[in-house]
A = this chain, B = another copy of it.
């Protein structure tokens, strides 16, 4: 978390820093992000940065927390709207992410963030600590709504299904952000969702 010092900063200055950071995070993957670039773009002294944040991960987590906060609200609405149907929720999330990810302001940032999620990060339930409690709670609630329509016999199996769905969906979001033809991209995604739903084996 940022220090009190940063949180107390006048809005303008805070925004200047966050904007410079956003730009840098959009430029290269996190590991190549240069604090030097951020402080230069923000017009603050190098020392100030370390007065505000522990390191670049600290700043990154803060920015992501803000972004995810917005998405969580949306997610609740979607679950409501789809009455818990998890596949439809995935499709709604996909559409939502593509919509905001295609905005000129966001496109590079989105590609960096989503494209650079690692395989080991896709194992949500194996490392719960990293999930927001809200989202975790939300997902557990979903179990009840899905246990009768899905082929699942336990919460553990539901977790497997969720992880698969999210992994596949995330992959498709990245692909779509890179495609020229977004209709074709969406079609591919929907096909994959059908495969997940009904299986790839011929009856």
Please name 8 pairs of A and B residues whose Cβ atoms are closer than 8 Å in the assembled complex, sorted by A: A29-B31, A149-B201, A160-B191, A163-B171, A164-B192, A167-B167, A167-B168, A167-B171
- By a CB distance below 8 angstroms, the chain B residues around A197 are 199-201
User: A122 an interface residue at 8 Å Cβ cutoff?
Assistant: yes
Are B195 and A196 touching (Cβ within 8 A)?
yes
- By a CB distance below 8 angstroms, the chain B residues around A117 are 118-119
One of B115, B151, B157, B195 near A160 (C-beta < 8 A): B195
Are B123 and A119 touching (Cβ within 8 A)?
no
Are B150 and A200 touching (Cβ within 8 A)?
yes
- By a CB distance below 8 angstroms, the chain B residues around A134 are none
Are B126 and A119 touching (Cβ within 8 A)?
no
Give the complex CA separation of A1 and B111 in angstroms. 29
Are B119 and A151 touching (Cβ within 8 A)?
no
Give the complex CA separation of A29 and B119 in angstroms. 12
Given contact pairs A126-B178, A164-B192, A164-B195, A202 touches B118 in the complex (Cβ within 8 A): no
Query: Which residues, 144 to 203 on A, are CB-close (under 8 Å) to B?
Result: 148-152, 157, 160-161, 163-164, 167-168, 170-171, 174-175, 178, 188, 191-192, 195-202
User: A11 an interface residue at 8 Å Cβ cutoff?
Assistant: no
Taking residues whose C-beta sits less than 8 angstroms from the other chain, chain A's interface range is 35 or more
- By a CB distance below 8 angstroms, the chain B residues around A175 are 123, 126
Q: Is the interface of A mostly helix, strand, loop or mixed?
A: helix
Look across to chain B and name the residue whose beta carbon is closest to the beta carbon of A161.
B200
Tell me the minimal C-beta distance from A126 to chain B in angstroms: 6
Query: Which residues, 106 to 132 on A, are CB-close (under 8 Å) to B?
Result: 111, 114-120, 122-123, 126
Query: Which residues, 67 to 97 on A, are CB-close (under 8 Å) to B?
Result: none
Are A161 and B116 touching (Cβ within 8 A)?
no
Tell me the minimal C-beta distance from A57 to chain B in angstroms: 13
Give the complex CA separation of A148 and B118 in angstroms. 34
Additional A-B contact list (18), CB under 8 Å, known A115-B120, A119-B174: A31-B31, A111-B120, A116-B119, A116-B120, A119-B171, A120-B178, A123-B175, A126-B175, A149-B201, A150-B202, A160-B195, A164-B192, A164-B195, A164-B200, A195-B196, A195-B199, A197-B199, A199-B199
